[in-house]
Structure 1
Amino acid sequence: MTPPRRRLFEGFRLRELRRRTELSQAAMAGRLGISVSYLSQIENNDRPITDIVLVALSREFPLEAFGDVDESASLLRTIDAATDAGVPAERMGEADVRRGIEQQPLLAKRMVALHEAWRRSQEQLRVLDDRYDSGSTDAAPLPWEEVRDWFQAEGNYIDAIDRSAETLAADLDPHRPNRGLEDRLRWHGVQVVAQDGDGSELSRFDPRARRLAVNSALPPESRAFLLAHRLVRYEFENEMRQVVEDSGLASPASRELLSIGLANYAAGALLMPYGAFRDTAREVRHDIDRLRQRFGASFEQACHRLSTLQRPGAQGLPFFFCRVDMAGNVTKRHSATRLQFAALGGACPLWMVHEAVAIPDRILVQHAEMPDGTRYVSMAKGLVKPSGSYARPPRRYAVALGCEELHAADFVYADDLRPGGAATPIGTSCRICPRGDCDQRAFPPAASAIAIDPDRRSVVPYGFR
């Protein structure tokens, strides 16, 4: 028999959250889907916070933690599985899900496991789709694919390294980050010198002389990242070695790439310490320009860091993040949301990140809807990295960051969008997108039957079923 749940009375915290977010009781009640009188009773501890209200709080205010974190996470995962619009079956109500967890906890866990397995199969389908497009017949993933998938499976969060970076950051001077990094490197016997060049080489380390030469043309945030990248190789050597050993990656190339990726991750975590960065992000409503100024980071670095805030019990807002080049290739990606990217190749042409590549230094926002009905608000910005030489073209690409529509109130870029209004219909990849009325379709979905009507002409010269 399931033991009775402890009644949760945390009205003072709910009231403090409402005041901190400057919401009236009516506005807060509306976001939680309850009446104003019910909210008032909860705030005064006349009534406990129920599971249904906990779920609403977790969805509307993911940066807050009420009650038992593990129980709330379990309830959210079960509701996600029971209400996923991508599954062709009638959705369950949240009250039915809660009763199911209480009365049949093993059955609920099994449903969640099946749903997660289904999602993994969809991800594998995306990978196969991309390999088909690229003409690859090799069943084994390439080293960089293997490392990319490893980070995705880890949720793009490495706890041991992140916590070590947070501890080290507390010992450095926050007002002079470059000087603090250089002083710490000098303690390890490393000398930092300037290096002239055309931009093709960002830095070079001489292990025998223990000298790190950094390109003098780099902006301060790039220089700081390179210093941090070298420093963490000394400071977190044992932690990174253990992660690589436990990764299960077989090939030497994959393990070496993972080691470099972990150093990149650690450098970002050192320059943007978890707790301070998460709290500041919440304070400025995830305004990237304010974040990068506060932490001396680049626009891309700040976006990427937001996608790594997945510490258990202290998660940040669940974001997706990606980087797209001029050809539409997704060269960096991670998603803490239900949205998943094509593993290789390009993204949906209707996504405004492609337009952002051609319009550097301007932020574009979009309200988009996936085929399963999930809506997202996102921003994208085109960036240009100077090469340092007329003979070398600059690097041009765009980064995109977004979250589900239900978190729009905590995402400053959604202020000009109307929640519930018209949204651009987008997909993941033409080969697995079921939309039949898309004028931008490049080819039909895989395994679909093509229907051709010679007497009817449209933008796409075929239908499918």
Structure 2
Amino acid sequence: MAENKIFAGPRVRRIRNGLQLTQTAMAEALGISPSYLNLIERNQRPLTVQLLLKLASVYKVDLEELQGEAGGSLAELREVFADPLLAGELPGDQELIEVTEAAPNVSGGVVKLYRAYREQASRLKDLAELLAGQGHMASLADTRLPIDEVRETFEARPNHFARIEEAMEAFHASLSPGDDLPAALKAWLKREHGLVVRTLPVHVMPNLRRRFDRHSMRLFISERLSPFDQTLEIAMEVASIACHEPIMAELDQFPFSAAEARRIGRFQLARYAAHALMMPYAAFHAAAQRSKYDIDLMRARFQVSFEQAANRLTSLQRPGAAGIPFFLMEIDNAGHRLRRAGAQGFPHARFGGACPKLNIHAAFAVPGQILVDRVEMPDGGEFLTVARTVEGPQASFQERVRRTALLIGCDAGFAQETVYGAARLPPIAVGPVCRLCERQGCLARAEPPVTRPLGLDEMATGLSVFDFQ
């Protein structure tokens, strides 16, 4: 019967070096020649069953150590080379397999170095945010993707664009859509530009929200979208045409470093213009004040979604006719922060947004329900927060629903001006991101603060696994 053969030369060499044996000494103990052992260590000869048993009996070697795959190391190396910095370096896994087999210690060292790099980058980011919150600008700039540059630029300024607001308000007045804005927008596109809007079924356009065919002059909208989101897509097309000059004028105010960033920025401004068209400033501001900023009443009044109405609230900052300075944040159920917006810029230092005690995280447990809290930051600042889940495009039976959560909030001083602040809620002690929060005894703490050393008292431990001094 044929013997099972295993090529495990690097592992044999590692065992020999660990025992501080020469090839001659090990070969003699195994009953083979030094040259044959040399060939085994270079993977030019296999380890037979007899040799495996001999290694196990002479050196007390675990056979699984010789026969097992370096799966853990390989998976960790895959993670390292999946980083955007290294993603294009390897055509496949073969070289990674060779490294883990031939030099497992080197493989482990690369993984440790990569983890240290990520930890250092995380600490630098945390410290930069801490310095920025204290009025200091960090001098270190990291490499950013165009989408990161656009997000940071938009989030650091008030979410109000006066030129676009004025243009869209004037256009809405000239359009006179009555109670059927989608029909009026479609009619305008066909009359003024010969552009026809069509809704396509999922099997025809499975992977797109919208597509503009310049040759046939048709705008295709996916039936996956809710009626509100379909209207938004049409409004974005109209705004891109009717509000082109104001959009470009606002875009020119941003010092984007690349053409791709400008393209993304132009898309964001078109989305803003679409909201301004669907919910004209003066009418929306008046309705917001009458309803005490009840988002559900405003979404019914303007026939928009909860997300669209909440997003519009953050833009009510016209001089002389400003609303409550709301801020907004959206996350997915994995905790990834998808976007932030705010009338005064999202208050990063005072309200970091990643505290697990915020109601935005609890919203996923009760989809569609509105959760209201009053929260207190470590510096004494208080905020009113309103959270609710929102659904993405319609999923088929085989697909998982895309559900995100929105948090819209304002300074607690404005709470009584809203329908959500009527109840006298006791404040919940929250904080910024855990790495910047110094609250003692927090049951929800996920990471130690970067500003304090860890407590290593073996005689007493606190409520958190990340005790600090």
Query: Normalising TM by the smaller chain, what interval?
Result: 0.5 to 0.7
| Structure 1 residue 341, shift from structure 2 partner | 4.3
Q: Could you say what secondary structure the match of 1:208 adopts? A: coil
Q: Distance in 1 between matches of 2:400 and 2:210?
A: 19
**1:192 aligns to what SS in structure 2?**
strand
Counterpart in 1 of 2:133? 122
TM-score, reference length from structure 1: 0.68
Query: Structure 2 length as normaliser, TM-score?
Result: 0.67
Select 1:358's aligned residue among 365, 372, 385. 365
**Paired residue for 1:193?**
198
Asked if 1:155 corresponds to 2:158, the answer is yes
User: 2:438 matched to 1:434?
Assistant: yes
Alignment partners' CA distance in 2, 1:211 and 1:166: 26
Shift in CA distance, 268/323, structure 1 to aligned 2, threshold 3 Å = same
- How far the C-alpha of 1:142 sits from its partner, in A, is 2.0
Partner residue in 1 for 2:452:
448
| Counterpart check, 1:141 vs 2:144 | yes
Query: Identity over the aligned pairs, expressed in percent?
Result: 32
**SS of alignment partner, residue 464 of structure 1:** coil
Q: Residue 196 of structure 1 contacts residue 215 of structure 1 at CA under 8 Å; is this kept in 2?
A: yes
- Supply the distance in 1 between the matched residues of 2:227 and 2:340 (Cα, whole angstroms): 25
Give yes or no for contact 2:159–2:345 (8 Å, CA) kept in 1.
Answer: no
2:216 maps to a residue whose letter is: A
Counterpart of 1:238 in structure 2 is: 245
Match of 1:261 among 268, 286, 307: 268
Q: Deviations over 1:418-465 (max 9, x none)?
A: 4xxx31111120111121221211122113222221111332135334
- Show CA shifts across 1:70-96 (max 9, x none): xxxxxxxxxxxxxxxxxxxxxxxxxxx
In structure 1, distance between residues paired with 2:188 and 2:202: 26
Change (3 A) 1:451 1:223: same
Assess, with a 3 A threshold, how the Cα gap between structure 1 residues 268 and 214 changes in structure 2: closer, same or farther. Answer: same
User: What SS class does the counterpart of residue 170 from structure 1 fall into?
Assistant: helix
1:299 aligns with 2:302: no
- C-alpha deviation, 1:227, in angstroms: 0.6
Alignment partners' CA distance in 1, 2:431 and 2:136: 14
Pairwise CA distance, 1:334? 1.5
Local SS of the residue matching 1:290: helix
> Gaps (5+ residues) in structure 2?
1-127
Q: How far off its partner does 1:269 sit? A: 0.7
Instruction: In structure 2, give the amino acid aligned to 1:185.
Output: L
> Relative to structure 1, is the Cα distance of residues 386 and 147 closer, same or farther in structure 2, using a 3 angstrom cutoff?
closer
Deviations 1:105-147 (A, max 9, x none): xxxxxxxxxxxx999812899999xxxxxxxx98132211211
- CA distance, structure 2, for counterparts of residue 334 and residue 217 of structure 1: 26
User: In 2 relative to 1, CA 231–351 (structure 1 residues): closer, same or farther, beyond 3 Å?
Assistant: same
Structure 2 counterpart of 1:384 = 391
In 2 relative to 1, CA 275–426 (structure 1 residues): closer, same or farther, beyond 3 Å? Answer: same
Q: Which has the larger radius of gyration?
A: 2
8 Å Cα contact 1:123/1:340 also seen in 2: no
Instruction: For residue 155 of structure 2, give the secondary structure of its aligned residue in structure 1.
Output: helix
Rounded Cα–Cα distance in structure 2 between residues aligned with 1:125 and 1:360: 40
Partner in structure 1 of residue 78 of structure 2: none
Q: Is the 8 A contact 1:453 1:462 kept in 2?
A: no
Return the match for 2:324 from 317, 327, 330. Answer: 317
Matches within 5 A, 1:267-306: 267-306=274-313
CA gap 1:383/1:427 in 2 versus in 1, 3 angstroms: same
Distance 1:251 1:295 in 2: 37
For 2:170 and 2:338, the matched residues in 1 are separated by: 31
Structure 1 pair 305/119, CA: closer, same or farther in 2 (3 Å)?
farther
Q: How many residues align?
A: 337
Distance 1:120 1:147, change over 3 A: farther
Give me the CA root mean square deviation. 2.7
SS at match of 1:233: helix
Q: 3-state SS of the aligned residue for 2:319? A: coil
**Kept in 1: contact 2:185–2:235 (CA 8 A):** yes
Distance, in Å, in 2 between the alignment partners of 1:339 and 1:253 is 24
**2:247 and 2:373 mapped to 1: Cα distance?**
38
Check conservation: 1:126, 1:342, Cα contact below 8 A. Answer: no
Q: 1:347/1:182 Cα in 2 relative to 1: closer, same or farther (>3 Å)?
A: same
Q: Does the alignment pair 1:219 with 2:226?
A: yes
Equivalent residue, structure 2, for 1:349: 356
1:383 Cα deviation (Å)? 2.1
Residues 392 and 363 of structure 1: CA distance in aligned 2, closer, same or farther (over 3 Å): same
Structure-2 residue corresponding to 1:375: 382
Tell me the distance in 1 between the aligned counterparts of 2:178 and 2:432. Answer: 41
Q: Which residue type is aligned with residue 372 of structure 2?
A: V
Distance 2:211 2:344 in 1: 37
Match of 1:54 in 2: none
Structure 1 position 411, deviation (Å): 1.2
C-alpha contact (below 8 Å) 1:385/1:396 kept by paired residues: yes
User: In the alignment, is the contact (CA less than 8 A) between 1:333 and 1:341 conserved in 2?
Assistant: no
* CA positional deviation for 1:252: 1.2
Q: Distance in 2 between matches of 1:151 and 1:123?
A: 21
Displacement after TM superposition at 1:405 (Å):
1.4
Say if 1:160 and 1:410 are closer, same or farther in 2 by CA, change over 3 A.
Answer: same
SS at match of 2:457: coil
The 1:270–1:124 alpha-carbon spacing in structure 2 relative to 1, beyond 3 Å, is farther
Report the secondary structure of 1:318's partner residue: coil
User: Any conservation in 2 of the 1:384–1:396 contact (CA below 8 Å)?
Assistant: yes
Q: Deviations over 1:24-45 (max 9, x none)?
A: xxxxxxxxxxxxxxxxxxxxxx
The amino acid across from 1:163 in the alignment is E
1:180 to 178, 184, 189: 184
Give the whole-Å Cα distance in 1 for the aligned partners of 2:403 and 2:134: 28
Q: Indicate whether 1:460 and 2:431 are aligned.
A: no
Matching residue of 1:109: none
